[in-house]
Structure 1
Amino acid sequence: MARRRWGELEKVTLSSAVLEVIESFGFERTTPVQSATIPLLLERKDVSVEAVTGSGKTLAFLVPMLEMLQRRQTDTPWTSKEVGALIISPTRELAFQISEVLDKFLEKKELSYLRQKLIVGGSRIEEDITAIKKESPCILVCTPGRLEDLFQRKGDLNLAGRVKSLELLVLDEADRLLDLGFKATINNILGYLPRQRRTGLFSATQTTEITDLIRAGLRNPVRVSVKEKSSISTPVKLQNFYKIIEPEEKFLGLIHFLQSPLTSHGKVMVFFPTCACVEYWVMIMSHFLHNRCVLGIHGKMKNKRKNTVEKFRQEANAVLLCTDVLARGLDVPEIDWVVQWDPPASASSFVHRVGRTARQGNEGNALVFLLPTEDAYITFLKINQKVELNELENADHDKEELGRVLEKLHRLQLKDKDIFDKGTRAFVSHIQAYSKHECNAILRLKDLDLGKVATSYGLLQMPRMPELKNRESTNFIGPKCEVDISKLTYKNPQKESQRLEKLKIYEVSGEWPGKKKFKKRTEAWEQTKKAKMDTKTKKELRKAKKQRKIENDVNKPKKRKPQYTQEDLDELANDIRLFKRLKRNKISEEDFDKEMGIED
Structure 2
Amino acid sequence: MSWENTCTLHDHILKTVNNFGFKSMTPVQIATIPVFMKNKDVCVEAVTGSGKTLAFVIPVLEILLKREPLKKHEVGGLIISPTRELASQIFEVFKSFSNKNHCAFSCTLLIGGRGDIEKDVEDYKALGANIIVGTPGRISFALEKCPLLQSGMRMLEVLILDEADRLLDLGFHQTLTSIIRYLPKQRRTGLFSATQTDEVEQLIKAGMRNPVKIVVKEKAPTTESIEQTGFSDVKTPASLSNYYIVCQPTEKFNRLMDIITGKINEKMLVFFSTCASVDYFGRVIKELCGSKLTTLLLHGKMKKKRLDIFNNFRKMERGVLICTDVMARGIDIPDVDWVLQYDPPSNASAFVHRCGRTARVGRKGNALVFLLPTETPYVDFIEINQKAPMLEFVLKSEKNHIEWLAKMRNLSIKDRAIMERGTRAFVSFVQSYAKHECSFIFRLKDLNLGEMATGFALLKLPKMPELKNKKVTGFIEADVNVNLIRYRDKQREKQRQRNLKRSTNELDSKPKYTSKKAKAWTETKQRKETKKLRKEKRRLKKEKTMTFNDDELEELRKDAQLIKKIKQKKMNEAEYDKVLEEEEKQMTMAETP
TM norm structure 1: 0.80
Given that 2:77 and 2:156 are in contact with CA atoms closer than 8 Å, whether structure 1 keeps it comes out as yes
Deviation at 1:210, TM superposition (A): 0.3
Give the structure 2 partner of residue 98 of structure 1.
90
Aligned counterpart in structure 2 of residue 216 of structure 1, from 202, 206, 229: 206
SS in 2 for 1:192: coil
Whether 2:132 is the aligned partner of 1:140: answer yes
SS in 1 for 2:181: helix
The aligned amino acid for 1:288 is L
The whole-number CA distance in structure 1 between the counterparts of 2:374 and 2:437 is 16
The whole-number CA distance in structure 2 between the counterparts of 1:146 and 1:406 is 42
Aligned counterpart in structure 1 of residue 106 of structure 2, from 97, 106, 115: 115
Whether 2:163 is the aligned partner of 1:185: answer no
Alpha-carbon displacement from aligned partner over 1:443-475 (angstroms, at most 9, x marks no partner):
211111111111111111111111112333331
Deviation at 1:204, TM superposition (A): 1.2
The aligned amino acid for 2:184 is P
Give the structure 1 partner of residue 123 of structure 2.
131
Deviation at 1:237, TM superposition (A): 0.7
SS in 2 for 1:158: helix
Given that 1:450 and 1:473 are in contact with CA atoms closer than 8 Å, whether structure 2 keeps it comes out as yes
Alpha-carbon displacement from aligned partner over 1:169-210 (angstroms, at most 9, x marks no partner):
111110010011000111111111001111111111111110
- The Cα RMSD (Å) is 2.2
SS in 1 for 2:321: strand
The aligned amino acid for 1:215 is K
The whole-number CA distance in structure 2 between the counterparts of 1:266 and 1:307 is 21
The whole-number CA distance in structure 2 between the counterparts of 1:349 and 1:521 is 56
SS in 1 for 2:297: strand
The aligned amino acid for 1:308 is I
Give the structure 1 partner of residue 260 of structure 2.
258
The aligned amino acid for 1:41 is F
Give the structure 2 partner of residue 422 of structure 1.
421
> Which consecutive unaligned segments of at least 5 residues does structure 2 have?
221-232, 519-593
Whether 2:443 is the aligned partner of 1:444: answer yes
Aligned counterpart in structure 2 of residue 484 of structure 1, from 457, 481, 494: 481
The whole-number CA distance in structure 2 between the counterparts of 1:348 and 1:234 is 11
Given that 1:50 and 1:204 are in contact with CA atoms closer than 8 Å, whether structure 2 keeps it comes out as yes
State the aligned residue count. Answer: 502
The whole-number CA distance in structure 1 between the counterparts of 2:143 and 2:100 is 31
Give the structure 1 partner of residue 274 of structure 2.
274
> Which consecutive unaligned segments of at least 5 residues does structure 1 have?
512-518, 525-600
Deviation at 1:264, TM superposition (A): 2.7
Deviation at 1:51, TM superposition (A): 0.9
Aligned counterpart in structure 2 of residue 242 of structure 1, from 237, 241, 244: 244
5 Å matches for 1:302-313?
302-313=303-314
The whole-number CA distance in structure 1 between the counterparts of 2:193 and 2:389 is 23
The aligned amino acid for 1:315 is M
SS in 2 for 1:320: strand
The aligned amino acid for 2:490 is P
Q: Assess, with a 3 A threshold, how the Cα gap between structure 1 residues 523 and 133 changes in structure 2: closer, same or farther.
A: farther
Alpha-carbon displacement from aligned partner over 1:354-390 (angstroms, at most 9, x marks no partner):
0110001001110011111111111111221122211
SS in 2 for 1:388: coil
Deviation at 1:36, TM superposition (A): 1.2
Deviation at 1:401, TM superposition (A): 5.2
Alpha-carbon displacement from aligned partner over 1:296-352 (angstroms, at most 9, x marks no partner):
110101111111111112222210110000000110130011001122111111111
The whole-number CA distance in structure 2 between the counterparts of 1:520 and 1:31 is 79
The aligned amino acid for 1:287 is E
The whole-number CA distance in structure 1 between the counterparts of 2:137 and 2:249 is 40
Q: Assess, with a 3 A threshold, how the Cα gap between structure 1 residues 211 and 486 changes in structure 2: closer, same or farther.
A: same
SS in 2 for 1:109: coil
Whether 2:155 is the aligned partner of 1:165: answer yes
The aligned amino acid for 1:208 is D
Give the structure 2 partner of residue 576 of structure 1.
none
The alignment-based identity, stated in percent, is 48
Give the structure 2 partner of residue 22 of structure 1.
17
The whole-number CA distance in structure 2 between the counterparts of 1:385 and 1:405 is 34
Deviation at 1:158, TM superposition (A): 2.3
The whole-number CA distance in structure 2 between the counterparts of 1:141 and 1:369 is 36
Alpha-carbon displacement from aligned partner over 1:537-567 (angstroms, at most 9, x marks no partner):
xxxxxxxxxxxxxxxxxxxxxxxxxxxxxxx
SS in 2 for 1:243: strand
Give the structure 2 partner of residue 332 of structure 1.
333
Deviation at 1:491, TM superposition (A): 2.2
Deviation at 1:98, TM superposition (A): 0.4
SS in 1 for 2:3: coil
The whole-number CA distance in structure 2 between the counterparts of 1:424 and 1:466 is 14
The whole-number CA distance in structure 2 between the counterparts of 1:101 and 1:509 is 60
Alpha-carbon displacement from aligned partner over 1:2-21 (angstroms, at most 9, x marks no partner):
xx211211xx3101100010
The whole-number CA distance in structure 1 between the counterparts of 2:168 and 2:456 is 34
Deviation at 1:116, TM superposition (A): 0.3
Whether 2:384 is the aligned partner of 1:383: answer yes
Given that 1:17 and 1:108 are in contact with CA atoms closer than 8 Å, whether structure 2 keeps it comes out as no
5 Å matches for 1:465-504?
465-479=464-478, 482-504=479-501
Given that 2:272 and 2:343 are in contact with CA atoms closer than 8 Å, whether structure 1 keeps it comes out as yes
Give the structure 1 partner of residue 533 of structure 2.
none
SS in 2 for 1:50: strand
Given that 1:244 and 1:394 are in contact with CA atoms closer than 8 Å, whether structure 2 keeps it comes out as no
Give the structure 1 partner of residue 26 of structure 2.
31
Given that 2:75 and 2:153 are in contact with CA atoms closer than 8 Å, whether structure 1 keeps it comes out as yes
Deviation at 1:224, TM superposition (A): 0.8
Given that 1:333 and 1:358 are in contact with CA atoms closer than 8 Å, whether structure 2 keeps it comes out as no
Given that 1:381 and 1:387 are in contact with CA atoms closer than 8 Å, whether structure 2 keeps it comes out as yes
5 Å matches for 1:326-365?
326-365=327-366
TM norm structure 2: 0.81
The whole-number CA distance in structure 1 between the counterparts of 2:155 and 2:55 is 22
The aligned amino acid for 1:120 is I
Give the structure 2 partner of residue 594 of structure 1.
none
SS in 1 for 2:69: coil
Deviation at 1:259, TM superposition (A): 1.8
The aligned amino acid for 1:71 is K
Whether 2:44 is the aligned partner of 1:43: answer no
Deviation at 1:521, TM superposition (A): 10
The whole-number CA distance in structure 1 between the counterparts of 2:172 and 2:494 is 42
